[in-house]
C-alpha cells in the first residue's frame, strides 16, 4: 500500500496494571481523516497519545510514512515524530499571543517568514484580526481555532485531535467541524481524532473506528458503521435501535414476533439458529394496513419528526419515527410494517 501514511499493528498500552489499549490496528492514508469513537475510558485518548509518543507500547508497532516510530521498549520522541496534536484543553501557551502560538513550531525560518505563515494560517481559520490577542482574551471557539492552526503550522503529515470540540456548544461544534475538515483537506494533512460524539464523527471522519474497553471493534466508513455494525456494541452505540430476538429460517430471513423478516444479506448460520435482529427507527414504517400493532409507551418530539417507542409484544419494543404532524398520545395503538434492506443479525 504505497500511500499508507499511518500504519498501526496490534498495539497495546497499559497504565500500571490496567490495560488501556489492547490490540489496536488501523491504516490511514495521506490526507485522510479518521476518527476514533467510543465511550469515555475506552482507550481512544491513549491510542492518540501512543501515536504522538507520550505512551510507551507494550505490544505491536507504529509506522509513520514508512518509518518505524514505535514498538515495545523503543519509540521516537514526540518532538521528532512530526505529528501535530490538538489537545482537549487546547494547551495554548498563555505567555504567547495567538500569532506567537501558531509560530511556536516553525523553526529554521527567518522571523518574517514565520510571522507571515502564522498570519496566513490565522486568516485561514477565520481569526485574521486577532493575531496579537493572548489566549485569555479569546473565546473558547477562537482558542480552538488557534490550537488547530498551531498544530498544522509546521506542516505535519498527521494531526491528532483529542476531543477537540468537547468544550464548545453544539452550534459552534458543527461550524468548526466543517471548517476544520476544510482546512485539513486543503492542506492535505491526514488527521486522526477522538470523540465520544457520533454526529461529530460522521461530520468529519472519512473512516470511523468504534472502540470499547481498549479494543477497536470496527474501522469502517460512516455508512457501514451505521448500516452494517460488526458487533452488538457498535449497533448499540451508533444511532438508535432495538434488538429483537428471533430464529433464522433461511440464510436471509428471520422469524420474529413481528413476523417473518427478509433482508438482502445472507448469514452463514444454520436454519433454526437463535439470533438478535437490529431494527433502526427507519426500518419501522407507519402503515394503516401494516401487519404489526404497537402501543405507544414513550414519545420524544423532535421538531419535524416524533420518535415513538412502541411495544409490539411482551418485552419487545421497537422505535419508530413519524412526521410530527401525526400525533399519537401515550397508550395509542399504531399500525406499522417492517421494511428492512440490510438484515443486521447477531448470534444470540
Please report, as ranges, the residues that interact with other proteins according to CB under 8 A: 52-56, 61, 63, 66-71, 73-85, 87-89, 91-95, 104-105, 107, 150-151, 154, 160
Residue with smaller CB distance to other proteins, 16 or 171: 16
Residue with smaller CB distance to other proteins, 25 or 257: 25
What are the backbone dihedrals phi and psi of residue 190, each rounded to the nearest 5 degrees, phi first? -80, 150
Length of the chain: 348
Do the beta carbons of residue 312 and residue 293 sit within 8 Å? yes
Residue 228 CA: distances (Å) to CA of 33, 241, 251, 256, 275:
20, 13, 16, 20, 16
Do the beta carbons of residue 24 and residue 212 sit within 8 Å? no
- Shortest distance, position 330 Cβ to other proteins, whole Å: 39
- Shortest distance, position 141 Cβ to other proteins, whole Å: 18
Residue with smaller CB distance to other proteins, 58 or 285: 58
CA 109 remoteness from chain centre: 37
- Find cell 455494525 and name the residue: 229
Q: Report the relative pairing of strands 33-37 and 190-195 from DSSP bridges.
A: parallel
- Shortest distance, position 309 Cβ to other proteins, whole Å: 40
Residue with smaller CB distance to other proteins, 140 or 291: 140
Residue with smaller CB distance to other proteins, 53 or 141: 53
**Distance separating alpha carbons of residues 113 and 123, to the nearest angstrom:** 15
- Shortest distance, position 220 Cβ to other proteins, whole Å: 26
- Shortest distance, position 104 Cβ to other proteins, whole Å: 5
Which region holds residue 67: left if phi is over 0, alpha if psi is between -120 and 50, else beta?
Answer: beta
Q: Which of 133, 135, 105 is nearest to 117 (CA)?
A: 105
Residue with smaller CB distance to other proteins, 76 or 172: 76
- Shortest distance, position 45 Cβ to other proteins, whole Å: 11
- Shortest distance, position 91 Cβ to other proteins, whole Å: 4
Residue with smaller CB distance to other proteins, 22 or 55: 55
Using DSSP's 3-state secondary structure scheme, residue 204 falls into helix
What is the DSSP annotation of 85-148? EE-TT----TTS-HHHHHHTT--SS-HHHHHHHHHHHHHHTT-GGGTT--GGGS-HHHHHHHHH
**Distance separating alpha carbons of residues 76 and 28, to the nearest angstrom:** 19
- Shortest distance, position 336 Cβ to other proteins, whole Å: 50
**Distance separating alpha carbons of residues 127 and 93, to the nearest angstrom:** 17
Rounded (5°) CA angle 3-6-8: 130
Cell numbers given for 71: 514498538
**Distance separating alpha carbons of residues 119 and 128, to the nearest angstrom:** 7
- Shortest distance, position 224 Cβ to other proteins, whole Å: 29
Residue with smaller CB distance to other proteins, 93 or 269: 93
Residue with smaller CB distance to other proteins, 93 or 301: 93
Amino acid at each position: 500500500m504505497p500511500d499508507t501514511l499511518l500504519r498501526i499493528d496490534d498495539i497495546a498500552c497499559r497504565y500500571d496494571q490496567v490495560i488501556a489499549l489492547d490490540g489496536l490496528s488501523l491504516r490511514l492514508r495521506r490526507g485522510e481523516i479518521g476518527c476514533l469513537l467510543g465511550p469515555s475510558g475506552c482507550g481512544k485518548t491513549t491510542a492518540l497519545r501512543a501515536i504522538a509518543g507520550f505512551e510507551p507500547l507494550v505490544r505491536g508497532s507504529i509506522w509513520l510514512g514508512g518509518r518505524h516510530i514505535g514498538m515495545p521498549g523503543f519509540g521516537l520522541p514526540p518532538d521528532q515524530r512530526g505529528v501535530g496534536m490538538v489537545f482537549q484543553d487546547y494547551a495554548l501557551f498563555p505567555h504567547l499571543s495567538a500569532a506567537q502560538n501558531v509560530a511556536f513550531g516553525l523553526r529554521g525560518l527567518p522571523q518574517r517568514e514565520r510571522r507571515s505563515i502564522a498570519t496566513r494560517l490565522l486568516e485561514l481559520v477565520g481569526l485574521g484580526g486577532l493575531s496579537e490577542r493572548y489566549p485569555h482574551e479569546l473565546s473558547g471557539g477562537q482558542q480552538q481555532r488557534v490550537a488547530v492552526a498551531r498544530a498544522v503550522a509546521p506542516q505535519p503529515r498527521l494531526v491528532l485531535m483529542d476531543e477537540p470540540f468537547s468544550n464548545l456548544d453544539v452550534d459552534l461544534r458543527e461550524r468548526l467541524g466543517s471548517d476544520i475538515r476544510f482546512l485539513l483537506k486543503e492542506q492535505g494533512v491526514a488527521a486522526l481524532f477522538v470523540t465520544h460524539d457520533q454526529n461529530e464523527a460522521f461530520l468529519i471522519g472519512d473512516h470511523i473506528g468504534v472502540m470499547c474497553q481498549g479494543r477497536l471493534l470496527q474501522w469502517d466508513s460512516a455508512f457501514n458503521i451505521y448500516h452494517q455494525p460488526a458487533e452488538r456494541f457498535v449497533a448499540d452505540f451508533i444511532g438508535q435501535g432495538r434488538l429483537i430476538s428471533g430464529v433464522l429460517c433461511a440464510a436471509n430471513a428471520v422469524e420474529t414476533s413481528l413476523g417473518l423478516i427478509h433482508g438482502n444479506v445472507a448469514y452463514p448460520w444454520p436454519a433454526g439458529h437463535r439470533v438478535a435482529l437490529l431494527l433502526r427507527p427507519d426500518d419501522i414504517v407507519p402503515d394503516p394496513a401494516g401487519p404489526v400493532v404497537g402501543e405507544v409507551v414513550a414519545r420524544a418530539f423532535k421538531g419535524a419528526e416524533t420518535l415513538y417507542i412502541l411495544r409490539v409484544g411482551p418485552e419487545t419494543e421497537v422505535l419508530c419515527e413519524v412526521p410530527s404532524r401525526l400525533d399519537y398520545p401515550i397508550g395509542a395503538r399504531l399500525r406499522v410494517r417492517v421494511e428492512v434492506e440490510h438484515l443486521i443479525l447477531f448470534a444470540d
